[in-house]
Amino acid sequence: MQSMAGHRPLDTLVRNLRAGLTNMVHNDVVMTREGRPGLELKPEAFRPIARTNAPARMAFVDGGNGTVAESPNFVISLNRLYCGLFRGRDRTGAPPDPRIEFFSLVVRRAAHTETEYKTEYDVSLFPHDDSHRRYMPTEYDVKASIRDTPTGSDPRIPSLSRSLGEWRMARATVQTLERGDILVMDGSLTTLDRIESSYAQDLYRSAQDRGVVVCALAKTSRLLTRGGEPLLDRVHEISAGTGHGMWCIEVAEQVSSHDRGFVMAVKLHPNAAFPFRFEILREQFLEMDNAEKDRILSSMAANSCDVSFLGYPYGLVDADRYAQVRNSDVAMYGALLESRLRMDGDLAGILRSMRAYGAHERLNGVSS
């Protein structure tokens, strides 16, 4: 530990932070990147959420992934997709394949032309069951999505198959739902590239055809107000003057061109510690009357009374529980893979490069 005397960088840092982040002048409109400006965040704009005795059926979709093995020229991930169905506090049956799992292998190889050196990616996906392919992205699309990313070594590569898979899982789920049901995605409706937005588009079209509402709820948000304050904090402050226990406030019709949702902030239980970002597919939202908005919000609130996380939908806790890829899963599959590689003489070299690549992890283990 550094001595207490002398220069203390953290103290200086805190002083700077205070200068930069306090005494800001409120400007209570969300900062948007493009499109129309946000709505003014004022007490009168808060809409109370009422309790309901007849919550709608809701489907919660989430995915998870973990890296089982990697080296400079390949990465193997384990991907999980999950969908759970609830009505209020109760689970209502399960979709045909509530949870699917597949491996993805992305290999980077050299592909020279006469004029340049470059790398190409090969993508292969391996489900436990071939019938699960309908919940998965195609290998071609994953590959195209990689090509779309700015640099070849994008950290998104290991999770691309999973992200695209979530849209597919959601679409497959919608096809089993009925008019008036609600689909809730974990996170936001933001897409990162051309391929992903076309996957999202497929979902939206299906949902609109069947009359299923598409929403997303995010635990965290980086959105700021024009005054530079974190949106959710500021909204929470303003809400204090409204007297509503559960509320919703419309924030912006569009916060970015990559996001098709109408963005709101919601507090789904009077004892919730904080509000969350909530969005509804814009085309659907703009056609809703107040009764329909209330129906959706009340249904969300009716699923958010679990003591483990008051104000957060239990359906998402549940989805996370099943979709998450844990370290123990990764370790188990990693070991299985290694034993298979070892049995194959030709692949012994791969094992070596995996080990070398994993050396920094070992170093972390040693030096921490």
Please, which residue, 217 or 263, has the CB nearer to other proteins?
Answer: 217
Nearest to other proteins of 56, 281 (CB atom): 56
Helix (H, G, I), strand (E, B) or coil at 8: coil
Residue 205 as a binder of other proteins (CB under 8 A): the answer is no
In the list 133, 156, 258, 269, the residue contacting other proteins (rule: CB under 8 A) is 269
Give the span between the Cα atoms of 189 and 192, in whole angstroms. 10
3-state secondary structure of 68: strand
**Which DSSP letter does residue 188 get?**
-
Show contacts with other proteins in window 134-193 (CB under 8 A): none
The answer for residues whose C-beta is within 8 angstroms of residue 230's C-beta and 6 or more apart is: 221, 223, 224
Contacts of 359 (CB under 8 A, 6+ apart): none
Binding mask 80-109 for other proteins (x = CB under 8 A): ---------x-x------------------
Asked whether position 306 contacts other proteins by CB under 8 A, the answer is yes
- Of 30-38, 93-101, 266-274, 352-360, which part binds other proteins (CB under 8 A)? 266-274
Options 38-46, 155-163, 291-299, 300-308: segment touching other proteins (CB under 8 A): 300-308
112: number of Cβ within 10 Å: 9
Q: How far is the CB of 66 from other proteins (least distance, A)?
A: 19
Least separation in angstroms between CB 273 and other proteins: 10
Under the criterion CB under 8 A, does residue 329 sit at the interface with other proteins?
no
Asked if 219 is part of the footprint of other proteins (rule: CB under 8 A), the reply reads no
Report the run of H or E that residue 234 belongs to, with start and end. Answer: helix 231-239
Residue 225 near residue 251, CB atoms below 8 Å: no
The stretch among 102-110, 183-191, 196-204, 307-315 that binds other proteins (CB under 8 A) is: 307-315
Q: Which of 60, 247, 276, 314 is the binder for other proteins (CB under 8 A)?
A: 314
Q: Which two tokens stand for residue 336?
A: 């299985």
Rounded to whole angstroms, how far apart are CA atoms 115 and 108? Answer: 19
Stretch that binds other proteins, among 14-22, 27-35, 55-63, 302-310 (CB under 8 A): 302-310
Size of the site for other proteins (CB under 8 A): 14
- Does residue 128 touch other proteins according to CB under 8 A? no
**Complex with other proteins: residue 72 or 270, whichever CB lies closer:** 270
State the minimum distance, in angstroms, from the CB of residue 313 to other proteins.
10
Q: Which stretch binds other proteins (CB under 8 A): 123-131, 202-210, 233-241, 314-322?
A: 314-322
Q: Which of 3, 113, 153, 308 binds other proteins (CB under 8 A)?
A: 308
Q: Which is nearer to other proteins, 240 or 307 (CB)?
A: 307
Q: How far apart are CA 170 and CA 160, in angstroms?
A: 16
DSSP per residue, 21-47: HSSPPP--BB--SSSS---B--GGG-E
CB contact at 8 A, 100 and 169: yes
Count CB atoms within 10 A of the CB of residue 138: 14
Cβ neighbours of residue 146 under 8 Å, at least 6 residues apart? 106, 121, 123, 152, 154, 157, 160
Q: How far is the CB of 173 from other proteins (least distance, A)?
A: 20
Residues 43-62 that bind other proteins (CB under 8 A): 51
Residue at token pair 């290694």:
338
The DSSP code for 345 is G
Q: Is 18 in the site for other proteins (CB under 8 A)?
A: no
What is the Rg, in whole angstroms, of the alpha carbon atoms belonging to the chain? 23
Instruction: Report in angstroms how near the CB of residue 271 gets to other proteins at its nearest.
Output: 4
Contacts with other proteins by CB under 8 A lie at 51, 89, 91, 269-271, 305-308, 310, 314, 318, 321
